[in-house]
Amino acid sequence: MPPQSLSIPPANASTAQVFRALLRTLGLLKRVMEPHFTAVGISGAQWAILRTLHDVESAGGPDVRLSELGNRLLVRPPSVTGIVRRLQRMGLINVTTSPADQRAKTVSLTDDGRRLVESFGARHEAQTADVFAGLDANQRDQLLGLLCQLDGHVEQLAGQTNGNGRRHDERSMDNAPSDAETKQRNSRCGC
């Protein structure tokens, strides 16, 4: 099926137009990617956890603490716990008590989890290549740069809310991310 092209919006698009376009694209990505993950019996959120654990393991890193996993994926603790429990029941990950802190749990791949990531990885790369086939290399680079820039800005906004979604009255440079936090965000974002 040939790719459907939408007309390029005029210059100086409103923020509402940009926001709606972003939400539409996210919805379409979900529609395209969900069956891809379902074919191997997992969800996109489960894949994100498996892939993260595989990446840490491949880099020689230690088992990942459950709280760190949530932070890396920007998933709230109750949600990450539920996803991890399902993956554990499926036999794809191990959850153990941290030797350094008996209150903390660490997560690692099982042999079955590792095999799933390794066998599904090439198929996943092909699927994402199909998703981005509508953009040339320069456009993909531009998109990544813009998404990283937006990610950093939205992350700052998220840090300036008071827990109920309302912004703090005072903006302070004390809330600005440290160099280490910026580097970690950029690595998560792909920048």
Is residue 46 within 8 Å of 34, Cβ to Cβ?
no
Task: Give the model confidence (pLDDT) of 48-88 as tens digits.
Answer: 999 999 999 999 988 888 888 888 888 888 889 999 999 99
Higher per-residue confidence, 71 vs 27: 27
pLDDT value for 188: 52
- Is a pLDDT exceeding 70 seen at residue 47? yes
CA atoms within 13 A on the CB side of 5: 7
Q: Using CA atoms, how far apart are residues 17 and 22, in angstroms rounded to an integer?
A: 9
Q: What are the backbone angles phi and psi of residue 170, rounded to the nearest 5°?
A: -105, 135
Beta bridge partners of residue 108, listed in sequence order: 94
Closest by alpha carbon to 28, among 130, 97, 105, 109? 130
pLDDT value for 172: 43
Task: Give the model confidence (pLDDT) of 140-168 as tens digits.
Answer: 999 999 999 998 898 888 887 655 555 54
CATH class of 29-134: mainly alpha
Mean pLDDT calculated for residue range 102-121: 93
